[in-house]
Structure 1
């Protein structure tokens, strides 16, 4: 067995389901060839091999590279000023009337060049990479016109080529209605469905299609139009669902065989059952829950009871979740939603991979998967959920290369 790298003197949290907690191997070894895991297991069972390079990891824990499966990483400007205004007593309505909220992000995103959007997104990405992230999903949804939506997706693709991380893109076609279209809402939906999406897909910019289904956003009927177009283009879908109310978003996601339903704080048991039957992942977003000071957590016990996989993500965005740390998201998922540390780490690895349709490629440490790894200065995997703000990452590998 010929390998490029042998990693040894390490403990593996393989995150393979069905065995030891965390899929743990206390004295492990890894053989890596051509950017993939060739073999992983106990060092005592290491097969005969020829490795061009051997590295000892000093007994450190190794996990799959973490996966942030829900972000809005690309946007112009920020809304820290609005954050300060709210804490000084201004209401969301007052801020919105003054041109704030998503309108301010839309304006800044439209005004920014691709290079400017790339530079600001990569700066935020550094926080994710420093907390073990090797794959990130990036949505459009702040441009809200043809050119700006495609611009955002082009920047996301560039990040995947140049910034040392795997990227999956989502066209968030129905996120908000831009001010110029408020009197003609239906006309905007027509453009988002029949113009923006086909153009982005034709340019190869779209891996999945997303929408925001909520009374303050878009209806089930409007979302269905978008999802039917996605289906015609052969693209998978996902949905911001039941964040502020039970609007049947989870059931709608299940109807279309969505990869995931995200937020899901107000999902009913019927919605949970529909997700379970369709294999839809519940993506939990504790950063937004924290920043919005919500009080109704997702129905985690129901997800457990109906065997719905739960992913965890940062929801990194300028308005409701300015979170650029994956380990912080893991901690908040445990503290706020009562996930166990093992559930939260599975949510940032194995289940996050499923939420992106990438279970065959990433998310666990096993033969045939990409050699995307995170090496940690911890004594047990639970520390990844325990510490808030402490640097824990020792090294990070993407496709068999340290980065």
Structure 2
């Protein structure tokens, strides 16, 4: 057997989002525009600390709290509040929902993939095409033996949601296969199923007895209404698991919900998230819950403290919760306004094609339909940075630069 040396390992490229941010930061052009990184920015394109978060920080500063380790499962009060936010206070009391704190949404997704690989042992995992690029890496790392199957999600010619393609792909699933779903503000396309379409998706998943993993990164941020943004998750839960009985003859074999507080609380660097495990029966949830705990112990031992305290402080106080509700509306409305402004600017300068999809989408991103070559020209000629697949982070736009960006897009469209 040949001796292994570290020198044999090839140099891997930096993840695209981080490489793009590094290139933007190194660019000295005064009118450069960052439309790549998925973080909220205010009208001046500056980082925004939510007023509710700032108020919670003041409360915590005056508590003279310690910095001891959390339990392996995280802060119990935070977990309770996270579960109530996701499922509603009433549903959150059901014993077949178990919650652990995670290292943001990425950690929740990684823990979900590890759990499925170790214990569900699916033959396939169905992931939307396109999706958040880290989904592919997470599942490849956690379960290299699991085949990744991409279900159609985006119709490029119509610039719309490919519902029929998604359904046809899921019909090919086998029992215990995993399907990863975005409950709102699909990343990167910004297209979400309607409630009637969600019901059909649920019917197929239940009939095929697939295992569901929801990745919820934008609750409240998408529409400004946390309850509306959780509709799909609550529908799946109530339809298949809410009765805590055997009334469902063929429910999905289980469900995991990954919950991030990065976007909707602006706690990007605090890495705060939760993972909710749902079993058809409360007794079955207990054993699975202990296996989640074992995985956490092996990977991080216990989660981080400060961000969990911030979220818990906000959601435990009626006034701060109300303020947070206004904060997410502020973010959602600004993004909606930017969408309208960009579309109006594009149409004002008579750009080729139909750009109505920009306003039909929802959430932080617009899947513009621009090609990789067009995106490269935007960067090289106009110093506008966005992902190669044409995904634009709308929070990088404001009244000062939206006209410049629209003219640059027209240039790259006309150039081909």
Higher RCO by CA contacts (8 Å cutoff, separation 6 or greater) = 2
**Same-fold call, TM > 0.5?**
no
Q: Aligning the two structures, in what range does the TM-score lie when normalised by the shorter sequence?
A: 0.3 to 0.5
Structure ranking higher in strand proportion: 1
TM score, norm. by length of structure 2: 0.32
TM score, norm. by length of structure 1: 0.33
Structure ranking higher in helix proportion: 2
